[in-house]
Amino acid sequence: MMRFAMLTALCVAAGLTLARPALADDATAPAATLIGNAAALAQKLAKTQYVHETSMLGAVIRPYGEGRLDIDADCSGWVSHNLERLPLHYEAVRAYQPQVAGEAGRPYPRATVYRQYFANLPAGAPFQAVKTLAAVQPGDILSWCLPGHCGAPYSGKPADDTGHVMVVMSKPIPNVPGSAFLMVLDASSVTHYGFATLPPAVRAAHPELQTLYANYPTVREQSELVDGKTRTVTNGVGPGFILFGTNPDGSVGSFQFGPGDSVNSENIRFAVGRPLPTPLVR
């Protein structure tokens, strides 16, 4: 009970809402555990880099001094590293991995594996499929796979990476009808919305998001000089907001990483999984 209470206090202070678990005691709440794992690492970031397939656990974490961390990871490595602290949940995804073409033997499940698994959950799986964007909650894992992956028919060249996967850190934040932002912790090389770049109407309606976003260092946002001009690039683990659009049935149908970025939907498949409490072994 104490562990969940402490996590709840931290998350409430950060603008998050955690649902209490339905089984066993509060310490078994996997959403709280996943949020706690990801937040504890992201809040200590001093340096980070986006690196594909970094290790068997998906992330290389080094001490940087003064209690801070240097983290190398890609998106699926970051999620896998945090989910591995929930062994039953992580092993369920790992067990499914060989069923996805080209994924057997890889060091951890990639985005396409997470998406395929959440879209085809077997009976007794330690996850619940979340069918609509409106139903997404903190602690969910949202994933998508890009054209040429997911086993969907596609005549073009497959995308260079399989997709993207992330830990959700907020409830949906309404934008215009049919779309909402989610704050996430992920590893990426693409610039996301920050609080300052959210639409003015969203910032005005949700000032608490500034506090939530400010809980995490944004060290992955780095400046570089290109052709005599300074530009901001994204490289590694950190917080951000992603804008999602919906299909007519309310399911996730598109994404936009940041302002000025394209809205992506064609031949992209989405799925969201919520880690469920598991029965205690007596």
The per-residue pLDDT for range 256-272, each reduced to its tens digit, is 999 989 999 988 999 99
Nearest to 118, CA basis, from 252, 237, 20, 24: 252
Per DSSP, the three-state class of 98 is helix
Q: What is the mean pLDDT of the chain?
A: 88
The per-residue pLDDT for range 228-255, each reduced to its tens digit, is 887 788 999 999 999 999 999 999 999 9
Nearest to 150, CA basis, from 91, 95, 102, 89: 102
In angstroms, the CA 243 to CA 241 distance is 7
Angle at 234 between CA 158 and CA 222, to 5 degrees: 155
pTM: 0.87
What is the 8-class DSSP label of residue 66? Answer: T
The per-residue pLDDT for range 136-159, each reduced to its tens digit, is 999 999 999 998 888 777 767 877
Residues of the chain with pLDDT under 50: 1-28, 281-282
Q: Report pLDDT for 51.
A: 94
